Structure 1
Amino acid sequence: MLYFLPTPIGNLDDISKRCLDILNLCEIVICEDTRVTKSLITLLNAKFDKNIAPKEFYSLHTHNEKEFFAKFDKAKFDTQICVYASDAGMPCISDPGVSLVQFAQQNEIKYEVLSGANALLLAVAASGIVQKEFSFLGFLPNTGKERSQAIQNALNSAYPVVIYESPKRIISLIEAICKLEADRKIFAIKEATKKFETKFSGSATNLLTQLESANLNGEWCVVVDKSPNSGFERISKSDIEELEIPPKQKAKLLAKLTGENPKKIYENMIK
């Protein structure tokens, strides 16, 4: 049996009794970083007076997936209790694990996802912004046009969006939003569940002022309110295709809408 086990995102007390029970029984741990997971197990044993002692540890992350699945004996999932754990939080949510879920589905391996700590849902609940629907963007591209486009797309969203951000880029993220929409409402939380958890809320301009004098250390989760223009009808691909304008201009507009290469769009148009 394979269990996907969420780990605490800061506070060890957030580990559930069920997760501890499964860890106590497991023989194999598959994890993002074996050093991090072994350290966590040591801390859990000390805090909860446990004797968690898996026999085998395997590392599985985005850079070694092919090698792992080629070598790992999938029969172990049928004969032993196996756990997959990411470094912090829920596996598969901006963390490795999706490929293992797909592997289990393709090979009819029984698996179960345990409930537990998750920074995404914590921020959504704490934001006071999300009423019902929201979009989760995870980590945005670090630099360049891709990052600029991702921020613009977030601001255009008909739903509030949730973004993970590092302490190195949190200021630049809010600055970029300020330049585009200074009044957009934003909620940000850093070091969720930890001793120095801190929440910030207000317009983009107000938030930037707060952050400029704040300690930025720790991982951030940012909730950006939906676009005030979300109720307006949006331009569709067919709307642009029906415009009576030169093909090159039309290709550029379609590229901005779809993200496709304008040169390829133009070539397809004149065939």
Structure 2
Amino acid sequence: METINPPGTLYIVATPLGNLEDMTFRAVRILKEADLIAAEDTRYSKRLLNHYGIETGMISCHEHNEAKKSVQLIETLKAGKNIALISDAGTPLISDPGYSLVKAAAKHCIPIIPIPGCNAAIAGLSVAGLPTDSFLFCGFLPKKQQKRSLTLEGLKQERATLIFYESPKRICALLQQAIPVLGDRKACIAREITKLHEEYLRGTLGEILCTLELRPQVKGECVLFVQGASPPPPMTSELLEELILSKQNQNKGTADLAREIAATCHLPKKQVYDTILRLRNSSSS
């Protein structure tokens, strides 16, 4: 009777952002034991592998060939071989290649195991000095100014701390565009995390922009952290009445108007409904 061998495992392995000492023991072992390493840039990753004496063979898997290479890698996994996916730095798939491969592996019921480690967004957030209870990772914003502006507009009411990746060439342009849209909020820029010229700039968006504009050149990949939108002021009885009166000419029924205001102001519908009735009764008497 023919037996079917189980598929191999796809390991998603986080690697150092810059400092090679940030590699975990488990990550080293997995890379040594894997049958194949799929690397974003095999030439760049060779330095890491040589440092830890890892002799596992590599194959390139980057944004330009990922769709094609995924087919080949899936067949390798289905044949029972284990593959470790790494990016140039940090955790694969987080603004790095790998999504197509992981999606295909999940579709074929191939085991996918994360090997946790470095991530620039989380590392920077931990020292940014901004709220960490809720955050939104936005990755790289569109390069074109109009699309970037529309994206920022869609984020300006977001209460969570915002996290952006940006290149040193465009970081000042991002700050210049963010200030009029988001306001001059508290922020932090993390630059060259874990590397020799590691730096953290804290202050308002305007203060950080002034600091960077004084430099002849900004170097190193940047992570920008921006404080989320402030909560709206509490809705007092007086403000609620003013809002209801301003909408009285919309010719909406009491229930419809109450539903709309309750949803917009995050108030109990009954409270709004009763206030509308009271105001309408007092105006008709």
| TM-score bucket of the superposed structures, by smaller chain | 0.7 to 0.9
Given candidates 32, 35, 40, the residue that maps to 1:32 is 40
Asked which structure has the greater CA Rg, the reply is 2
Distance 1:130 1:27, change over 3 A: same
In the alignment, the residues of structure 2 paired with residue 7 and residue 173 of structure 1 have an alpha-carbon distance, to the nearest angstrom, of 28
Q: Which residue of 2 aligns with 1:216?
A: 218
**C-alpha displacement at 1:181, in angstroms?**
4.7
* TM-score, length basis structure 1: 0.77
Given candidates 26, 43, 53, the residue that maps to 1:18 is 26
Q: Which residue of 2 aligns with 1:127?
A: 128
Distance 1:71 1:180, change over 3 A: closer
**C-alpha displacement at 1:232, in angstroms?**
8.2
Q: Provide the identity percentage.
A: 32
Q: Which residue of 2 aligns with 1:226?
A: 228
Q: Which residue of 2 aligns with 1:150?
A: 151
* TM-score, length basis structure 2: 0.74
Q: Which residue of 1 aligns with 2:49?
A: 41
**C-alpha displacement at 1:96, in angstroms?**
1.0
In the alignment, the residues of structure 1 paired with residue 67 and residue 208 of structure 2 have an alpha-carbon distance, to the nearest angstrom, of 43
| Aligned amino acid, residue 49 of structure 2 | I
Report the RMSD for the aligned CA atoms in angstroms.
2.2
- Provide the secondary structure at the position in 1 that maps to 2:106: helix
**C-alpha displacement at 1:221, in angstroms?**
0.4
- Provide the secondary structure at the position in 2 that maps to 1:3: strand
| Aligned amino acid, residue 32 of structure 2 | N
Greater Cα shift, 148-157 or 70-79: 70-79
In the alignment, the residues of structure 1 paired with residue 223 and residue 142 of structure 2 have an alpha-carbon distance, to the nearest angstrom, of 15
- Whether contact under 8 Å (2:15, 2:89) holds in the other structure is yes
Distance 1:77 1:125, change over 3 A: farther
**C-alpha displacement at 1:155, in angstroms?**
2.7
| Aligned amino acid, residue 229 of structure 2 | S
1:65-214 to 2 correspondences below 5 Å: 65-72=66-73, 74-76=75-77, 79-214=80-215
**Count of paired positions:** 228
In the alignment, the residues of structure 1 paired with residue 111 and residue 79 of structure 2 have an alpha-carbon distance, to the nearest angstrom, of 8
**C-alpha displacement at 1:116, in angstroms?**
0.3
Distance 1:141 1:166, change over 3 A: same
**Cα-to-partner distance string for 1:198-246 (whole Å, 9 max, x where unaligned):** 011111221111112245100000111111256789xxxxxxxxx89xx
- Whether contact under 8 Å (1:14, 1:117) holds in the other structure is yes
Q: Does 1:64 align with 2:72?
A: no
- Whether contact under 8 Å (2:192, 2:220) holds in the other structure is yes
